[in-house]
Amino acid sequence: MKDLSIRYLERLSELYPTIAAASTEVINLEAILNLPKGTEHFLTDIHGEYEAFSHVLKNGSGAVRRKVNEVFHNTLSNEDKQSLATLIYYPKEKMNQVLKEKKDPEDWYKITLYRLIQVCKCAASKYTRSKVRKALPSEFAYVIEELIVEKEEGIDKESYYNAIIKTIIRVGRAEEFIVALCQLIQRLVVDHLHIVGDIYDRGPGPHIIMDKLMKYHSIDIQWGNHDVLWMGAAAGQISCIANVIRICARYGNLDILEDGYGINLLPLATFALNVYGDDPCACFQLKGGGNCSIDEREMNVKLHKAISIIQFKAEGQLIMRHPEFKLEKRNLLHRIDFAKGTIVLDGKEYELLDKNFPTVNPAAPYAFTEQEEEIIRRLERAFLNCEKLQQHMKFLLAKGSLYKVYNGNLLYHGCVPLNADGTLKEVEIYGKKYKGKALYEVLDSYVRKSFVAVNAEEKRRGKDLMWYIWLHENSPLFGKAKMATFERYFLADKETHQEGKNPYYRLLEKEEVTDRILEEFGLPAEESHIINGHVPVKTKNGESPVKCGGKVLIIDGGFSKAYQRETGIAGYTLIYNSYGLILAAHEPFESTEAAIQKGSDIHSESIVVKRVSQRKLVGDTDIGKDIKEKIGDLEQLLEAYRSGVLVERFHSV
């Protein structure tokens, strides 16, 4: 039997059949190692806010504007630079606005094309010509490549360059060419995108965000608890389905399900109107949906209550089915005194704000009525058979995970469960105990099993564990003592609403705790960072997203409008380029229309978290490590050719 290393080299020789081919590849790879590191863009807790997300994606958290400033310095006014940046974000819309005011657009086309080409050249300078070529729009690939690699040296070359621009305008392709250049700049300014959880819930457009992410050139996703909730719903887990519908109802976003995913809610709405027709459902008023008619709003609050009761029943059954989850205290329906309209929690009696429970049988409070059972089965089939939802979930599975280690940064959405003393908390999952990295990995494996496992029991366990991940105190994606959904609806006492955070959030400033987490995931304590979201940073109260001297960066500042009153800003994002880490604190986004009409960008305050003394190169990154390994393999191949162990594969002509 051949040595494995020889067999590997034989396979490699199929790709590089000659000394010349292998040598050329080594030269190319060595050159790539010395290019500047590509820019990484980190976003988290988007929560369905499509417009603000789309704008931040287009402007690269200020990276596009920084590139414009880098190219033009003081040669353009701030107004002209902002106008150019807005054009790059929204080329079609901005052109429509500008050209209405231009009697002779040719001059504007010419000036704009020259400016965009300069920005494009600057953005492309960090990449190999091969990588830039792959990013070029096919329609204009040859022309753009000629323009952005042209050095403008010599009269002949300058004439050639100018002739291309003039011809583009003369043949009526200037507008299409400008759009292509703007999209290419957006593509080149950010090399890789990290979404650190919670694409779904609260805002109106998570399905639109998912469509956009599926087209993005380079991306990874760390699932948030809201994302896993939707994954559970797509897998047909009833408690997850009920939670998804309830949250959409609560925030006035049932259109996401009905129009975005084509899920029929009419049976549920009909049931709600029949059962709660005379019930004002005062505790179930919506937090959004301001454009609804009075009748539509009334129907939605009734649906909101109907699905909430179904959720409490479904969760109660799940908790009884899994005593190992140790969530008996969260089963609350049987604690209600329906005659008095009160509930006893932790030995204290509370009066309920809503005492109408027509579908709850006090003798069997977690049992579904016949109508509820039918509705649940229909909803389960609708979620399982929704093609678009299943496509989105497959994308989350393919590009996502519970955590990621990338270029010296540890990315996860919520927390690493800790004990009060800062040590890693041991958590039992189906009879075995896990902590730290192992806990993340076993939960990740069960999420995947819920979609692909052949064994029916393992598949069911995976589906139920996604609900666990959504709200359990030991879930690294939740990390709170309880999810007080029932209390927030039915009890006035604010103390019952408190959810209590895992010690992780209190101990983040302790360097020994942060170092322990980094080392648990295989990262050196020095020069590494933890990047996560989940808990909004209350900037208006003086809270900083930068913890532990810059080792921990919490970048949830409130993309969701529902959080902005609490946080005072509209989200943190992070840029990691070859010069260091830049944190951007965003003010609320006015609208896409305002961005186009008035050139109003999201005002962002940039904070340099870390500036490197020496510019980082590709060779300093994880991709660089892979390239170095490949160079080592190719050098072994060259040695095998030159020593006669392998023979070059010359192909006859």
Average pLDDT (491-498) is 95
Whether residue 598 has pLDDT greater than 90 = no
* Banded model confidence at residue 540, pLDDT cuts 50, 70, 90: low
Whether residue 567 has pLDDT greater than 50 = no
Separation between Cα atoms, residue 486 and residue 313, nearest integer Å: 12
Q: Which of 106-110, 267-271, 315-319, 434-438 has the lowest mean pLDDT?
A: 106-110
Instruction: Determine the pLDDT at residue 603.
Output: 52
Judge contact between 426 and 435, C-beta under 8 A.
yes
Return the structure tokens found at 64.
Answer: 């596009």
Judge contact between 644 and 19, C-beta under 8 A.
no
409-424 b/e (C-beta count within 10 Å ≥ 16 → b): bbbbbbbbbbeeebeb
Taking CA atoms, 526 is separated from 408, 564, 620, in Å, by 10, 34, 15
* CB proximity list for 50: less than 8 A, separation 6 or greater: 203, 204, 205, 206, 208, 209
pLDDT more than 90, % of the chain? 70
Return the structure tokens found at 228.
Answer: 């896993």
Q: Which of 281-290, 450-459, 622-631 has the lowest mean pLDDT?
A: 281-290
Burial class (CB in 10 A: 0-12, 13-18, 19+), 55: buried
Return the structure tokens found at 109.
Answer: 């086309």
Burial class (CB in 10 A: 0-12, 13-18, 19+), 558: buried
Return the structure tokens found at 563.
Answer: 């959080």
Helix (H) or strand (E) holding 443: helix 436-452
* Banded model confidence at residue 588, pLDDT cuts 50, 70, 90: low
* Banded model confidence at residue 61, pLDDT cuts 50, 70, 90: confident
Separation between Cα atoms, residue 356 and residue 30, nearest integer Å: 72
Separation between Cα atoms, residue 394 and residue 527, nearest integer Å: 34
* Banded model confidence at residue 175, pLDDT cuts 50, 70, 90: very high
pLDDT more than 70, % of the chain? 91
Whether residue 456 has pLDDT greater than 90 = yes
Whether residue 328 has pLDDT greater than 90 = yes
* Banded model confidence at residue 602, pLDDT cuts 50, 70, 90: low
Q: Which of 172-176, 351-355, 598-602 has the lowest mean pLDDT?
A: 598-602
Average pLDDT (401-425) is 96
The model's pTM: 0.92
Taking CA atoms, 8 is separated from 5, 118, 517, 638, 650, in Å, by 5, 45, 37, 13, 19
* CB proximity list for 13: less than 8 A, separation 6 or greater: 637, 640, 641, 646, 649
Average pLDDT (192-219) is 95
Instruction: Determine the pLDDT at residue 569.
Output: 44
Whether residue 523 has pLDDT greater than 60 = yes
Whether residue 560 has pLDDT greater than 80 = no
387-397 b/e (C-beta count within 10 Å ≥ 16 → b): eebbebbebbb
The type of residue at 376 is: I
Task: Please state at what angle helix 50-59 crosses helix 78-89, rounded to 10 degrees.
Answer: 120
User: What's the pLDDT tens digit per position in 102-140?
Assistant: 778 888 999 999 999 999 999 998 898 889 999 998 888
Instruction: Determine the pLDDT at residue 537.
Output: 66
SS (H, E, C) 61-114: HHHHHHHHHHHHCCCCCHHHHHHHHHHHHCHHHHHHHHHHCCCCHHHHHHHHHH
* Banded model confidence at residue 539, pLDDT cuts 50, 70, 90: low
Average pLDDT (624-649) is 94
* Residue 302 φ/ψ, nearest 5 degrees: -70, -40
Number of Cβ within 10 Å of residue 459's Cβ equals 18
Separation between Cα atoms, residue 240 and residue 233, nearest integer Å: 5
Instruction: Determine the pLDDT at residue 1.
Output: 41
Instruction: Determine the pLDDT at residue 518.
Output: 97
Whether residue 171 has pLDDT greater than 80 = yes
Instruction: Determine the pLDDT at residue 30.
Output: 95
How is 13-73 classified by DSSP, letter by letter?
Answer: HHHS-SHHHHHHHHHHHHHHHTSBPPPEEEE---TT-HHHHHHHHHHGGGHHHHHHHHHHT
Instruction: Determine the pLDDT at residue 151.
Output: 61
Instruction: Determine the pLDDT at residue 3.
Output: 79
User: What's the pLDDT tens digit per position in 246-277?
Assistant: 999 999 999 999 999 999 999 999 999 999 99
Average pLDDT (465-491) is 96
Q: Which of 19-23, 193-197, 362-366, 613-617 has the lowest mean pLDDT?
A: 613-617
Number of Cβ within 10 Å of residue 580's Cβ equals 15
* Residue 531 φ/ψ, nearest 5 degrees: -125, 115
Query: How confident is the prediction for the chain on average, in pLDDT?
Result: 90
Separation between Cα atoms, residue 319 and residue 422, nearest integer Å: 29
